Amino acid sequence: MIEEFIKYTDSYKKYGEMIDLKINHTFRVKDLCLEIAKSIGLTKEGEHLAELCGLLHDIGRFEQWKRYKSYKDLDTIDHGNLGVEVLRNNNFINKFSSDNYDTILKAVKYHNKYKVPNTLSDKNKLFVNITRDADKLDILYLVSKKTLGIKTEDSKMSKKVYNDLLNGKLIKKSDIKTKADQIAVRIGFIFDINYSVSYKIMKEKGYIDKIIDNQIEETNNEELKEQLLRLKEMSRKHIEVMIK
């Protein structure tokens, strides 16, 4: 299955190094999916399916970059939906695995949505949730090491976004008003994680602390610094609670 994926993505490499960014992200997400699957005791078959969902979750990214030269869904296209289209058009899943067709499509489609519909079957929901956790963990990794840098400049978080976070709510994209709000979205990931092992990884790697510390270092806005320190406290407590 990896060979098929590499063959497919190789044909997009001519569109530049932004393609590599997503290929590398994909392989890390695939490994994280496996780690999560193991932690919850899935069978070998389940582990394999989790890896497949990770491998294919961002398959729409390559076509998105080719068409729009952008990864911004809001300005271009929803890359989860595009991924489903790509898989259907290329008859990809039959090449990868003829079983579990629907589960893989759902994992691709819903990995990036604000909410997962509760109409999904238990099996589909399981693999959607694994993929979502793995994807978020790798995004936090990238932001923490500044690969996906967010420059807050001197902005602070908008009141609604900041208060939503303190109250444990996920940030809606439509509420994002300032650059600092984009940091809030990443911190808000801690309220949308499904498995204890994901919280453990988050804590061990110190992703949230790193993201917050980097921002505190970079900003001159005292109010933002204070907001960030309070959010650091809050997120540490939340992660501790969720690990237990």
Q: Which residues contact 191 (CB under 8 A, 6 or more apart)?
A: 168, 169, 170, 238
**Shortest distance, position 240 Cβ to Fe ion, whole Å:** 28
| Residue of this chain nearest to Fe ion (CB atom) | 58
The letter for the amino acid at 201 is I
Q: How far apart are CA 188 and CA 169, in angstroms?
A: 7
Q: What residues line the site for Fe ion (CB under 5 A)?
A: 58, 112
- Cβ proximity to Fe ion: between 5 and 162 the closer is 5
User: What does the DSSP 8-state code read for residue 191?
Assistant: G
**Shortest distance, position 67 Cβ to Fe ion, whole Å:** 16
Residue with tokens 């988050």: 202
- Cβ proximity to Fe ion: between 35 and 58 the closer is 58
In order of 12, 35, 125, 198, the CA distances from 23 in angstroms are 10, 19, 25, 22
Q: How far apart are CA 4 and CA 230, in angstroms?
A: 46
- Cβ proximity to Fe ion: between 105 and 212 the closer is 105
- Cβ proximity to Fe ion: between 112 and 219 the closer is 112
**Shortest distance, position 237 Cβ to Fe ion, whole Å:** 29
**Shortest distance, position 111 Cβ to Fe ion, whole Å:** 6
